[in-house]
Amino acid sequence: MDLADLRAIADAERAARPPAEIRCCTAAGCASADAPAVLATLKTAVAAAGLGDRVRAVGVGCMRLCSQGPLVAVEPAGALYQKVTTESAGSVVAGLTGGAVTAEPLDPRAPFFARQSSVVLENSGRIEPERVESYVAADGYLGLYRAVREMTPAEVVAAVTASGLRGRGGAGYPTGVKWATVAKNPGERKYVVCNADEGDPGAFMNRSVLESDPHKVLEGMAVAGYAVGAAQGYVYCRGEYPLAIDRLTTAIKQATKLGLLGTHVFGTPFDFRIDVRIGAGAFVCGEETALMASIMGGRGTPTPRPPYPAESGLWGMPTLLNNVETFANVPRIVRDGPEWFAALGTPTSPGTKVFCLTGKVANTGLVEVPLGTPLRTIVEGIGGGAPGGTIKAVQTGGPSGGCVPAELLDTPVDYESLGTIGSIMGSGGMIVMDQTSDMVDVARYFMEFCMDESCGKCVPCRAGTVQLHRLLSRVLDGTAGAEEMERLEALCHMVKDTSLCGLGQTAPNPTLSTLRYFRREYEAKLHPGTRAQRLRLPMVSANGPGGHAP
């Protein structure tokens, strides 16, 4: 495989493309709304109408507006249809020859689409995720070619550093610095790991990227492998994402067959193999040391850092760990140079970020915007606000994040600004809450999550989350007084300061941020009596649901 072969694949793919294309989303959101049947109907209708040589119906990835699925797009006409059913699908095909379309149209110029950017999601909803040729025709693997054939590993690291890309898993650590550290650490073997254990409830951007454009992530990992000197990569994917695992596995097979992965990538001495490891339903495995323990077949419990994975990771070797979205940004940075990327977003947080906008908001789905975009633009401009109500708060960062109150909606979304107001960027979950949400209950919901997911290794997290959950339940029951409130706050800080890993250190964040902005809701629930009186009151709310399933 060399550049001519790659171009030949792209040219053949483009030449075989008929003038019109009907694209049906087949990612998990639309798939649960019957998209596979809709796609089959579209294909049958195209054949039945004798349009086989001029039109083709293809399954593509996510088109972002998940709540209105299945979505069907007609290109190059630029038409978009929502909630397409097997009954209305035929009319979309009839529409191509002047027939009446009964499927519900959607305006692609609506703010939800028009105000978004496309970097990570550039191919999502446009290419066929299960065919490598489709990705190659969209200039795929050109970045990897440039890296291994035209650049030294040090130049690749320098390009990533110059782009200013920061870790998209939430912490925002500069990617270039991490790559440089792994590159310079000695080790007989090195590893590249892609963290696709997207455990934050309410976040599904990684799933969407893996289902819509898996090759982009593989290409990013291979570039990383070349840059740091690794020959083996792992994608650690959640077991809850069977479709993403399927598509990743298919993509790895196809890329290996073409010589884009495996031995002698693009005919160079660089070898890079990627294996998928499937998680087994533990939130803590999103933490890097726990994730590595899980890849090595053990219990997913974290270990103290240092040593950081960059020094001693998988099997004691230097290991590079990045999030799915971080890797997905890499191919274009290498292909087109770092400057255009650095020009996007803000000086300290360049590039774009994909968010999952869900909850009480009119438009639910994936949103990609440059970093530094005000939260209001995302939830009101793009999201369309809360239907039939007013936005009370926006929760960002999942169980490690906080609630941003409505009065702070003008805060720009970047790593620093969100940190200042007591939340975090996190991996990109954004849940809108309206007046019907009780903020104390929200705090307890997240505490219950952390209590269930605590691995039990360190005491502050194992015991602290249980006590915090109990105190929050007492507030909700009206059996807590000022004294319990004091204890709640003190314990929050204790758990935050003394836990071993990120799970415990951030578990109190939702509670602390609701205490900061919605303290009145807590105080309104307090019992005025003495402690002795309160203790005689029965506690109504039992512990919440247990028993998990994939």
Which residues contact another protein (rule: CB under 8 A)? 28-29, 31-33, 65-67, 69, 189, 198-204, 207, 239-241, 277-283, 294-301, 315, 356, 358-360, 364-365, 395, 398, 429, 431, 433, 437, 445-446, 449, 452-453, 455, 545-550
175 or 454: CB nearest another protein: 454
Which of 335, 336, 407, 397 has its CA nearest to residue 146?
335
Q: Quick one: CA dihedral 283, 287, 290, 295, positive or negative?
A: positive
- Own/partner pairs for 338-345, CB < 8 Å, 24+ apart? 338/159, 338/160, 338/162, 338/163, 338/164, 339/162, 341/119, 341/163, 341/164, 341/165, 342/162, 342/163, 342/164, 344/117, 344/119, 344/370, 344/371, 345/370, 345/371, 345/372, 345/414
**How far apart are alpha carbons 138 and 123 in whole angstroms?**
7
- Contact at 8 Å (CB) between 66 and 356? no
Work out how close the CB of 202 gets to another protein at its nearest, in angstroms, rounded to a whole number. Answer: 4
- Own/partner pairs for 168-171, CB < 8 Å, 24+ apart? 168/323, 168/324, 168/325, 168/326, 168/329, 168/353, 168/427, 168/428, 169/195, 169/286, 169/322, 169/323, 169/325, 169/326, 169/427, 170/323, 170/397, 170/400, 170/424, 170/425, 170/426, 170/427
Work out how close the CB of 330 gets to another protein at its nearest, in angstroms, rounded to a whole number. Answer: 23
Work out how close the CB of 115 gets to another protein at its nearest, in angstroms, rounded to a whole number. Answer: 18
315 or 343: CB nearest another protein: 315
347 or 387: CB nearest another protein: 387
SS3 per residue for 82-102: ECCCHHHHHHHHHHCCCCCCC
108 or 316: CB nearest another protein: 316
**How far apart are alpha carbons 93 and 30 in whole angstroms?**
19
317 or 344: CB nearest another protein: 317
Tokens, residue 48: 């039945």
**How far apart are alpha carbons 403 and 396 in whole angstroms?**
6
24 or 485: CB nearest another protein: 24
Q: Is 545 helix (H, G, I), strand (E, B) or coil?
A: coil
- Contact at 8 Å (CB) between 419 and 490? no
110 or 278: CB nearest another protein: 278
Which of 260, 278, 301 has its CA nearest to residue 196?
278
Which of 131, 130, 135 has its CA nearest to residue 10?
135
65 or 495: CB nearest another protein: 65
Work out how close the CB of 176 gets to another protein at its nearest, in angstroms, rounded to a whole number. Answer: 28
73 or 144: CB nearest another protein: 73
What length does the chain have? 550
| Cβ burial 242-254 (10 Å sphere, 16+ → b, else e) | eebbbbbbbbbeb
18 or 298: CB nearest another protein: 298
Q: Which DSSP symbol is given to 380?
A: I
32 or 530: CB nearest another protein: 32
